[in-house]
């Protein structure tokens, strides 16, 4: 039994070497070098190579021009040319790098952790330098530039971020085409309370109507008879409320035209700032 396993292992190993040699050098393409073929032709020849190896394992050795091997080979090649073959093409190194990078990002694995996995013997993972190169290439698809402004206010943000807001609007309307695929864009905004209030044209956290999402007032904040405060703000009502502000009527904290038109249910306040403020207040209560 051990001898049979050893022979089988050797047979598979030799078969893999033949497959690699055929794909890289000849690819069963009448003597043409594999590197000289077009990408689509390379894909087809790679499929053929896998089929030949599949037939070999099934017991159809290549013994002659008129053997059963050649008959089945021709039938399968016809299916390939007709787009009916089910054998998957050999995965290129670039495709493997993209898949590994996506899995790494989804798992929130940092570079140091990935390097440790790469060092495990037999891992077969691409090098970290190749992943960094691919990540840099993908990041270049949407360039990010720093924005400088002396004051954080509605007028300043309108002036210095006008092009960015317009680009966000265009992307949400038209989507993004990348690498032969079309992606639909839906924005979610997360920031500290002050910046969000400016973006949405609302009053600050100390105003009477302070809430980003609803019309809760300072007088109602401790009214526990109110069961819940649902997200009631919406962009459709803003023009009418701004008109009321001009007439010096109640506008529920809407002071300016929103700089972005992201629905209020896709707006999130960063929890770090409220947490630090609350901790500071609690510490004052303890020590004072």
* Ramachandran sector of residue 175 (left: φ over 0; alpha: ψ -120 to 50; beta: rest): left
Mean pLDDT of 29-39: 53
pLDDT of 83 reads: 59
Going by pLDDT thresholds of 50, 70 and 90, the confidence category of residue 48 is low
| Averaged pLDDT for residues 237-256 | 90
What pLDDT does 218 receive? 87
φ, ψ of residue 157 in degrees (nearest 5)? -65, -35
Query: Is the confidence at residue 87, as pLDDT, over 90?
Result: no
Residue 64, pLDDT score: 45
How far apart, in Å, are the Cα atoms of 56 and each of 6, 13, 47, 66, 150? 18, 13, 14, 16, 72
Interatomic CA distance for residues 261 and 278, integer angstroms: 30
Per-residue model confidence (pLDDT) at position 27? 41
Residue 202 φ then ψ, to 5°? -105, 165
Q: Where are the beta strands (DSSP E) in the chain?
A: 176-178, 181-183, 189-191, 267-269
Give the 3-state secondary structure percentages of the chain, helix then strand then coil, rounded to 5: 55, 5, 40
Asked whether the predicted pLDDT for residue 142 surpasses 50, the reply is: yes
Using one digit for the tens of pLDDT, what is the confidence trace for 162-206? Answer: 888 888 889 999 998 888 889 999 999 988 888 899 999 998 888
Beta bridge partners of 191: 269
Q: Which of 26, 82, 30, 80 is nearest to 54 (CA)?
A: 80
Backbone angles phi, psi at 152, to 5 degrees: -95, 90
Strands 176-178 and 181-183: antiparallel
Listed residue (4, 99, 92, 87) closest to 49, CA to CA: 87
Q: How far is CA 256 from the centre of its chain?
A: 34
d(CA 240, CA 46): 64
Give how far Cα 178 sits from Cα of 39, 102, 196, Å.
Answer: 19, 15, 30
């Amino acid at each position: 039994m051990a001898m049979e396993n050893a022979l089988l292992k050797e047979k598979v190993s030799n078969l893999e070497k033949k497959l690699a040699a055929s794909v890289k050098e000849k690819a069963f393409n009448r003597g043409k070098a594999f590197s000289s073929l077009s990408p689509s032709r390379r894909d087809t020849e790679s499929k053929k190579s896998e089929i030949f190896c599949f037939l070999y394992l099934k017991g159809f050795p290549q013994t002659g021009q008129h053997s059963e091997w050649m008959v089945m080979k021709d039938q399968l090649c016809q299916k390939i040319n007709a787009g009916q073959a089910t054998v998957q093409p050999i995965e290129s190194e670039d495709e493997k790098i993209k898949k590994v990078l996506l899995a790494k990002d989804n798992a929130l694995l940092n570079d140091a952790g990935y390097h440790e996995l790469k060092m495990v013997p037999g891992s077969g993972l691409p090098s970290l330098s190749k992943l960094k190169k691919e990540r840099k290439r993908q990041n270049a698809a949407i360039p990010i530039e720093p924005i400088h402004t002396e004051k954080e206010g509605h007028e300043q943000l309108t002036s210095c971020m006008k092009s960015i807001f317009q680009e966000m609007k265009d992307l949400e309307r038209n989507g993004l085409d990348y690498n032969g695929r079309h992606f639909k864009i839906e924005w979610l905004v997360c920031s500290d309370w002050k910046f969000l209030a400016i973006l949405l044209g609302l009053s600050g956290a100390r105003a009477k109507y302070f809430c980003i999402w609803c019309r809760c007032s300072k007088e109602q904040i401790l009214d526990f008879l109110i069961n819940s405060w649902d997200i009631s703000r919406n962009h459709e009502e803003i023009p009418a409320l701004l008109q009321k502000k001009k007439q010096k009527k109640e506008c529920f904290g809407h002071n300016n035209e929103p700089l972005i038109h992201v629905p209020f249910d896709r707006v999130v306040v960063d929890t770090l700032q409220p947490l630090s403020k609350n901790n500071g207040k609690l510490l004052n209560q303890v020590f004072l």
